[in-house]
Structure formats: structure tokens, C-alpha cells
Amino acid sequence: MVEQAPAWLTNSLIYLGAAVIAVPLSRALGLGSIIGYLAAGIAIGPWGLGLVSNVEDILHFAEFGVVLMLFLVGLELEPRRLWSLRRPIFGWGSAQVLGCAALLCAAAMAAGLPWRVSLVAALGLALSSTAIALQVMGERNLLPTSSGRAGFSILLFQDVAAIPILALLPLLGGVAESAETTAASRWIEAAKILGVIGGIVLGGRLALRPLLRWIAKSKTPEIFTAASLLLVVAIAALMQLVGLSMALGAFLAGVLLAESEYRRELETDIEPFKGLLLGLFFIAVGMSIDFGVLARSPLAMAAIVLGFLAIKGAVIYALGKAMGLPVQERPVFTLLLAQGGEFAFAVFQAATGAKVIAPEMSSLLIGAVAVSMLLGPLLLVAVDKLLLPRYANCNTPQLAEISEQQHAPVIIAGFGRYGQIIGRMLGAQGVGATVLDHDADMIEAARSFGYKVFYGDATRLDLLRTAGAATASILVIAVDDKEQSLSIVDLAREHFPHLELVARARDVTHWNELRDRGVMRVEREMFESSLRSARTVLEVLGFAPHEARMHAMRFRRHNLELFERMYPHHTDRAKVIAVIKQGRQQLEDQMAQERAEKEQRVREEGARRPDWGA
């Protein structure tokens, strides 16, 4: 008698088989991986081949992929960078949610729905898909752009906004509770929330790093991987326990570990799990599309989907214009945020439980959100092929990426004011250089002055190979953006270890991060020019030119020595501050002593000089 395979093994076979077939096929057709996952879910779901029936359980499990994604996004954001985003998060984020919700609610009430139903539908439909938006942004390298930062800020606010929206539903449902019980329960819930968030913040600051350091000393890679997953699972469970967003908690934990020495290792360990679970999430979304509701009410479904996409699209496009986003980036920005989101599933299910909306209406709204998540990537393909070329042709010069193999000994990545000086000096000495930049306007301007600059993003491995990185001797990293600079360094270290790297540092933090990666030839972009200006100021004040030069060179030497003393402690803020204060005091004391000795010599020479007028 043949024993039947366990359900988990059968389901794993179905999911993996569907993904392996659908995703490569979708990418080959130019539709992207997300459409492949969604199509695989439709094919194996209840309305396809019917191979899987427990869709809701799979969807809840697969949401952990979104949690892992937000954790990894948090790892890329240091607390200071997150703090700098506070205004776009709460400013533009609240404008998007409130603006979309207000118009959607007005449209629903105009269609004859009760105000409670209209409000819940509007709040749920105002939310966007964090999973799809961030996945697309990552694939297109949009996160460092202005539209990527704006989209991320709005998505993060939506994760925060989902909490009060869910808390509002019982009140709309008219759940009867005494005032004392309601007040007491709210205080308890607030205390739980503050306690969990405080625990995550304090734990991330005080406990997580020593714990990870202790685990790393075991030199057992699989245990460190297990610890990484345990960290994210535990934080997600804590947030779920108090009714908060699991993804928001994971993001917060990632931010707290962004400055940790184990940041890269955590990313490497969690990335494969994130990819698999996100794929499973998209498959589950495809399975959750209720084609029965679509068949029973096709006109209502079409009206809801097209209506809320149009309203959200109009609000978000206007928001992008108000934010000053480039014209070329607005269509993708609008489309990524216009589609429905995974948090809408939770909102509509909770609203049904609170008896705010009927189960039939909930099914219709959930189906509309799922259909919009299917249409979003399809519309994105259409935008890429039909709309973006027109935007590009009308507003910026179209440049072909570097395609011919180059063989110069030096590659310069970035041809702004910094890279231009390097290129001009090399050219004056007859040294050939391959110059890459991805700013089309700047390239056109440089070419008008006779410079040969290729269009290409040096963070892409294929373009770096074409630029001749395999045979060149030196790579000069002169790009403006710090994150792009570090990405180029990582790429070069991994694939072209023979290259000597000469890098531009924007500030002390960037300098330290480059040194962490083994880049020894680093120059701060403003340091030398600032020293020249300081020399000029001293000369204007009456110092002799040779004396001003001597003071500037001494300060330069002292500053470089101070940097080397600070570098071993750059992760310890208190120690760095102490070293800086000590170094500054030493320099001031030394200079004061030299001035006193100089004044003493002048007095002694004056005393020895004969007084011919006596």
C-alpha cells in the first residue's frame, strides 16, 4: 500500500512548480516577475485548476514575506536618515491617505451607499500595496530617486495609518461598551503599544547587538541565520499581539540595526527567505481573486476597480506634481500607489466582523483590491512601452547606454564638478579614461564642450563590464549619491578585485563606510578647497603667504592624523566625540604655544635692537 504524501509536501510541490513555470515565462514575455506569480496563483487556485483550497491560511503565512521586506528596507535606513524623512512621511503620507479617502468616500455616497460603508470602503481602498510597490522599486533601482523616496515615505505612513483605521471599525459598528470599560481598555491597549515599541527600541539599542555578537562567535552560519529569522519573527509576533502592523515593527527593528556591524550579514541571510515568501504572497493574492463575485457582479466590480484607480491616480499624480517630482517619474509613481494594498484585506475582513459592511460587499471590495493588484503590474508594462518614451522624448535627451567594449586604464563613475576635474587632468597628461554618468542633461552639456561621456549607471554590473572594468587598473568613484557610491564599491570589490579604487567622500560618515569596505584612497570633496579658502582668509587678515600656507598644511596633517585615530572607534559615538575634542584641544594648545614663542622672539629681538634715536 502506497502511503499518501503529507499535505505540506504536496502544497510545496504545487507552489514551487507553478512559480518555476509561470515566472520565467512572464519575464520572457516582458511582463515582470510579479505578474508571473499572480498568474501562477490564479492557475492553481480555487478558480483555476483547484489544486489549493486553503487560500486564506496561505495568505496569512505569506504576509511574512512583506514583513521580511520591510525589515531589509529598514536595514538600509540609518535612524538619522529616517528622521530626515519625518516630514514627507507625515506630511505627504497624510495628504495621500486623507485626500484619496475623502474623494472615494464622496464618490461612494454619491453612488447611494450609507456613509459608514462609504467611509470604510474609502479608507481601505486608499491604502496601497507595499509589497508590489517596493518590489518594483527595487527591481528598477528607484528607491534612491526622488519618486522612490516619496513613494516609500507614503507607504510607510500607510502602514502607520492602518492601525487607527482598524481601531475605528468597532466604533463604526456600534459595539456597545460602557464608558468606563472603553476608557480602561483603551488605556491598557495604549500601554501595551508603548511598552512593545519601547521594548523594541531599547532592545535594539542595548540587547540585540551584544546578542548577535555572542551568536556570531559560535562561528556557526546556520545558527546566525536562525537567529536572524527568530529576531524578525519575534518582533512580528509582539506587534501582532498588541494589534499593530507586523511589517511596521520589522521595519523599526531594521532601522535600529542599520548601524550594526552585522547589517550586511543579516541582509545576506534574510534576502533568500524574503524573495521566496514574497513570491508566495503574490501567488496567494492570485488565488484569493474571487472570480465568482466577478461573474455575479461584473459591472459593479469594473466600476469599483476603474473608479478607485482613477480617483487615487488623480490625487497621487497631483501630489507628485506638488512635491516637484520629475515629469518622467510621475506615471510610475502614480501607478504604484494607485492600486489597492494588502492591508485592505485586513480592513474589510475586520469591518465584516464588526458588522459595518455586509459579507457580500466585503467580498466585492476584496475582489476589487485583488484585481487592481493584478492590473497594476500589467498597466506598468503598458506605461513603460507607450507612455514613458513620450515623456522622455519631450523633456530630456534620449541617450543610448554604453554598448561598445572600452579598454581605457581608468574608469570614472560620475562626471559632475568633481569627476570633471579628474578627467581634465588625466586628459592633459594623455591618460585615457572611460567616463560613465546616468544624468542625460549633464552628459549633453559635457558633450557640447567636447568631452566624451557615456550614458550608463555604474551600479549595474553589465555596464561596468562594458566600460572595461575587467581590464582597467583604476576605478574613480565620483558620484554624488552616497548609497550609489557604496553600491559601486561593493560591486567592484566582488567582481573586479584587481581594481584600485579612488573614491570621493561626501562627509565623515561616508569616509568611514568607504574605509570599512577597504577603500584606502578616499578624499573628502570639500576638504582641500576649504583649506585653500582658509589660507586666503589668513592672508587677508595680514599673515604672510608662506605663513598661511604653513598653518594650512599643518592643519591638514593634523586633521588626517585625527581621522586615522577616530576610525577604529567610528561606531562608538561617545568615543569619537572624545577623540575629536582631545585632538582639537591639542591643536589649539600647540598653535597657542607657537604664537606665544613667536611673540617672545619678537620682544627679544626688539630689546636687542639698538635705539638709534636715543
- Summarize pLDDT for 381-439 with one digit per residue, the tens: 777 777 666 655 445 455 566 777 888 899 999 888 888 888 888 888 888 888 888 87
Q: Is residue 184 part of a domain?
A: no
Q: Is residue 55 in some structural domain?
A: yes
Q: How far is Cα 311 from Cα 372, in angstroms, rounded to an integer?
A: 13
Residues 383, 455 within the same domain:
no
Residues 6+ apart with CB under 8 A from 352: 358, 359, 362
Q: Give the integer Cα–Cα distance in Å for 268 and 34.
A: 22
Of 341, 370, 395, the last residue of a domain is 395
Q: Which amino acid is at 155?
A: L
* Whether residue 173 is found in the same domain as residue 292: yes
Residues 508, 549 within the same domain = no
Pair (464, 349) in one structural domain: no
Bridge partners (DSSP) listed for residue 501: 475
Q: Can you tell me the distance from the alpha carbon of 438 to that of 304, in angstroms, rounded to the nearest whole number?
A: 40
Count of all residues that appear for the chain in the document: 614
* Apex 55 CA angle, 53 and 61, nearest 5: 135
Q: What is the CATH number of the domain that holds 303?
A: 1.20.1530.20
CB atoms < 10 A from the CB of 539, how many?
A: 14
Look at residue 530 and tell me if it is in a domain. yes
What does the DSSP 8-state code read for residue 429?
T
- Give the pLDDT band of residue 179 (cuts 50, 70, 90): very low
Residues 323 and 463 in one domain: no
- C-alpha to C-alpha distance for 89 and 78, rounded to whole angstroms: 15
Domains contained in the chain, number: 3
**Is the separation of the CB atoms in 189 and 243 below 8 Å?**
yes
User: Using the 8-state DSSP alphabet, how is residue 387 labeled?
Assistant: I
Residue 178 confidence class, pLDDT cut points 50, 70, 90? very low
Q: Say what the pLDDT of residue 5 is.
A: 54
Domain that holds residue 591: 526-603
Task: Give the residue among 174, 134, 166 at the shortest CA–CA distance from 346.
Answer: 166
438 within a domain of the structure (yes/no):
yes
User: What whole-number distance in Å separates Cα of residue 55 and Cα of residue 370?
Assistant: 13
Count of other CB atoms within 10 angstroms of residue 44: 22
Residues 197 and 62 in one domain: yes
Share of the chain above pLDDT 70, in %: 80
Please, are residues 46 and 55 in contact by the beta-carbon 8 Å criterion? yes
Within a domain: 185: no
pLDDT above 80: residue 21: yes
Distance between CA 500 and CA 532 in Å, rounded? 28
pLDDT tens digits for range 122-175: 888 888 887 778 778 877 777 777 788 888 888 888 877 776 777 677 777 654
* Alpha helices (runs of H) in 263-341, residue ranges in sequence order: 263-288, 291-296, 298-322, 330-338
C-alpha cell at 431: 591618460
136 shares a domain with 225: yes
Looking up residue 405, the CATH number of its domain turns out to be: 3.40.50.720
**553 shares its domain with 423:** no
- pLDDT, one tens digit per residue, over 284-298 is 777 777 777 777 878
Q: Residue 15 is which amino acid?
A: Y
Q: How confident is the model at residue 187 (pLDDT cuts 50, 70, 90)?
A: low
Query: Is the separation of the CB atoms in 76 and 155 below 8 Å?
Result: no
Query: Do residues 435 and 581 share a domain?
Result: no
User: E strand or H helix at 469, and its extent?
Assistant: none
What is the structure's pLDDT at 61? Answer: 64
Cα(85)–Cα(77) distance, rounded to whole angstroms? 10
One-letter amino acid for residue 100 of the chain: C
Give the residue from 395, 414, 433 where a domain finishes. Answer: 395
The answer on 426 and 385 residing in a single domain is no
Task: Indicate if the pLDDT at residue 57 is higher than 70.
Answer: no
Domain end position, chosen among 478, 505, 525: 525
Please give, one letter per residue, the 3-state secondary structure of 572-613. CHHHHHHHHHHHHHHHHHHHHHHHHHHHHHHHHHHHHCCCCC
481: Cβ–Cβ under 8 A, 6 or more apart, which residues?
Answer: 144
pLDDT single digits (tens) 432-465: 888 888 877 778 777 777 778 888 888 888 888 8
Instruction: Write the CB contacts of 367 (distance below 8 Å, at least 6 apart in sequence).
Output: 289, 290, 293, 294, 301
Same domain for 311 and 387, yes or no, is yes
Q: How far apart are CA 150 and CA 311, in angstroms?
A: 19
503 and 591, same structural domain?
no
> CA-CA distances (angstroms) from residue 598 to 536, 541, 548, 586?
22, 17, 15, 18
